[in-house]
Amino acid sequence: MHRVILAVVAASACSGAFAQELSYTLDPAHTYPSFEADHFGISKWRGKMDKTAGTLTFDKASGKGTVDVTIDLSSIDFGMDKLNEWARSGEFFDVTKYPQATYKGKLSGLTGHAAGHAVGELTLHGVTRPMELSINSFKCIPHPMLKRELCGADAQGSFNRDDFGLGAGKDYGFKMNVDLRIQVEAIADK
């Protein structure tokens, strides 16, 4: 019996030694945070951020890792130039003072093709708040051209923009909830 217990303990210790956390760099050409927010309670405005950068780490054996993303707020795109200019102005994001938003979190539950989540913090407009993202799909494959691992995911979450000091329209009955969808791809550094 003691031999069996020792064998199990030894096997567990060895399997931990083979776990490998890899580092990845986000592919800015394939990473787009998009969002939708209320407009007078009668329609939804949708947009996306065109410039992101960041890194992630991932350990396939445990399904855990980290994510660190920076979003250039001046890259906001509603598909309407006038609205983009307003969003960049001091009336909303104030990109001169707060040029970036960041999200830093811990990944878990990403085994095989299973969904998981990220628990972290969103910093926006100089305010940091906890935020959880659901990861609806996650998959890694060998990149056919770069010959390195490529991982991709579809994530979603929501936050109250008023919590970040972005209460524009609240007095007119705008709902403060913002829904996020994030398509992301990252390439292994080695």
Report, in this order, helix, strand and coil percent for the chain, each rounded to 5: 20, 50, 30
Model pTM score: 0.86
Confidence (pLDDT) at 101: 97
Answer with the residue of higher pLDDT: 20 or 122: 122
Question: Taking the CB of residue 97, how many other CB atoms lie within 10 A of it?
Answer: 9
**Residue spans per domain, the chain:** 21-188
**Residue 110's Cα: distance from chain center in Å?**
14
pLDDT tens sequence across 39-55: 999 999 999 999 999 99
Average model confidence (pLDDT) across the chain = 89
| The domain defined by 21-188 carries CATH number 3.40.50.300 | no
Q: Which residues of 62-77 are buried (b: 16+ CB within 10 A; e: fewer)?
A: ebbbbbebbbbbbbbb
State the amino acid at position 79 in one-letter form. Answer: G
Q: Coil, helix or strand for 166? A: coil
